[in-house]
């Protein structure tokens, strides 16, 4: 089981900032994102530089939106998919905020916010910035083949989201109406999936484990939630999670969706099982879900970012794919306006 923490000090989400690539910009959620870029390369000499620009842009934007200077931020928490989380390091070099690097693959969005929320229980600090990014072309090279290499993908494969999201959070309660009130840190679950084109199936058991833990420990239970979202399981993983939870008599289907299936139009866009990557749950949460909470379409939401913690070396050496999922419960505080 994962470990559930009910936060004694709720952590306010001051603002989120998002940027996405051209393919995501053609998807159904594009209106919810701050910036849609026209060109995946952003005019940079390498895809890696382009991804760095994405993360730097959102990190700066979220501070500007909130009228906060970088010097006022206590800790910057960030992670991405590239070797040695280099995108995050270069962003931290630019931002010059005390930095803790994270690696949780595509679970990094929730991991960053969960770690920030736990750190902010300490009243010696008051402001944390979290960021994460992914880029379709850098991950193709990192995990698979050169971008222009012609290979036929199976229908279970997923399409890495190009984009970045940054969040500014604080333990000073008057800053916002939207709060992280509880988090569940997941444990590794590995049920033996080896094929890197079956990420959804590799991560689904971890998502199930974390959702189950969180709902059992949350005194409000399942009925207190308006929605539950997983990060990037795609159509395949989403179907597996519903089925596995049903086997344990937990029926979430009526309020459940997966960010990987929401960010693209699966019928029109050629993305197989759906989106993946760190930016997937970051974009959907900071774009759509925060909007729904602010406009009172939802009051309490669980976001479960999922990560497939494989390395290119580990799967070439025929190791199985360890999965993880971290959950953050985001609530709008009634009567706080």
Partner 1 sequence: MGKNNKVKKEYKKLSQQKSPKIPLARNVIVAFVVGGGICILGQLIGELYISLGFDPEKAGDPTVATLIFVASVLTGLGIYDKFAQFAGAGTAVPVTGFANSIVSSAMEFKSEGLVLGVGCKMFSLAGTVIVFGTVTAFFAGIIHALLG
Q: List contacts with partner 1 (CB under 8 A).
A: 45-48, 141, 145-156, 191-193, 198, 201, 204-205, 236, 239-240, 243-244, 270, 273
CB-nearer residue toward partner 1: 43 or 150? 150
In whole angstroms, the minimum distance from the beta carbon of 47 to partner 1 comes to 8
> Phi first, then psi: what are they for 112, rounded to 5°?
-60, -45
* Contact residues for 284 (Cβ-Cβ < 8 A; gap 6+): 29, 229, 259, 262, 263
In whole angstroms, the minimum distance from the beta carbon of 260 to partner 1 comes to 14
In whole angstroms, the minimum distance from the beta carbon of 131 to partner 1 comes to 23
Q: How far apart are CA 138 and CA 113, in angstroms?
A: 24
Residue 36 bridge partners (DSSP): 20
CB-nearer residue toward partner 1: 48 or 232? 48
DSSP secondary structure letters along 48-97: HHHHHHHHHHHHHHHHHHTT--GGG-SEEEEE-SSGGGHHHHHHHHHHTS
293 neighbors 227 (Cβ within 8 angstroms): no
Q: How far apart are CA 337 and CA 333, in angstroms?
A: 9
In whole angstroms, the minimum distance from the beta carbon of 82 to partner 1 comes to 13
166 neighbors 130 (Cβ within 8 angstroms): yes
In whole angstroms, the minimum distance from the beta carbon of 236 to partner 1 comes to 5
CB-nearer residue toward partner 1: 59 or 139? 139
CB-nearer residue toward partner 1: 292 or 314? 314
E strands present in the chain: 3-20, 35-36, 75-79, 99-101, 127-134, 159-160, 163-170, 178-185, 227-230, 256-258, 275-276, 300-308, 323-332
CB-nearer residue toward partner 1: 242 or 262? 242
> Phi first, then psi: what are they for 36, rounded to 5°?
-115, 120
**Which of 69, 59, 207, 46 shows the shortest CA–CA distance to 135?**
46
CB-nearer residue toward partner 1: 75 or 153? 153
In whole angstroms, the minimum distance from the beta carbon of 223 to partner 1 comes to 27
CB-nearer residue toward partner 1: 156 or 314? 156
In whole angstroms, the minimum distance from the beta carbon of 258 to partner 1 comes to 13
């Amino acid at each position: 089981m994962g470990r559930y923490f009910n936060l004694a000090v709720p952590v306010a989400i001051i603002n989120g900032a998002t940027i996405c690539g051209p393919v995501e910009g053609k998807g159904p959620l594009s209106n919810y994102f701050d910036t849609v870029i026209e060109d995946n390369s952003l005019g940079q000499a390498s895809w890696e530089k382009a991804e760095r620009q994405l993360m730097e842009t959102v990190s700066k934007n979220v501070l500007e939106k909130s009228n906060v200077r970088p010097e006022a931020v206590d800790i910057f928490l960030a992670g991405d998919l590239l070797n040695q989380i280099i995108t995050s390091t270069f962003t931290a070099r630019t931002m010059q905020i005390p930095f803790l690097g994270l690696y949780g693959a595509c679970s990094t969005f929730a991991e960053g916010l969960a770690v920030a929320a736990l750190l902010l229980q300490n009243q010696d600090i008051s402001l944390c910035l979290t960021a994460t990014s992914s880029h379709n072309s850098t991950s193709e090279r990192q995990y698979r083949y050169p971008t222009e290499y012609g290979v036929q993908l199976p229908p279970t494969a997923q399409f890495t989201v190009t984009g970045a999201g940054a969040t500014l959070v604080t333990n000073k309660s008057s800053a916002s109406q939207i709060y992280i009130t509880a988090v569940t840190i997941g444990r590794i679950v590995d049920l033996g999936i080896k094929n890197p084109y079956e990420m959804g199936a590799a991560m689904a058991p971890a998502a199930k484990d974390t959702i189950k833990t969180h709902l059992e420990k949350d005194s409000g239970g399942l009925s207190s939630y308006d929605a539950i979202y997983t990060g990037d399981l795609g159509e395949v993983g989403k179907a597996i999670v519903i089925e596995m939870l049903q086997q344990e008599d937990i029926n979430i289907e009526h309020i459940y969706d997966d960010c990987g299936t929401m960010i693209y139009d699966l019928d029109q866009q050629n993305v197989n099982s759906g989106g993946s990557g760190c930016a997937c749950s970051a974009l959907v949460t900071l774009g759509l879900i925060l909007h729904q909470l602010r406009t009172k379409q939802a009051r309490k939401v669980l976001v479960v970012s999922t990560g497939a913690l494989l390395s290119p070396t580990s799967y070439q050496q025929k190791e199985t794919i360890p999965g993880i999922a971290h959950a953050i419960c985001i609530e709008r505080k009634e009567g706080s306006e």
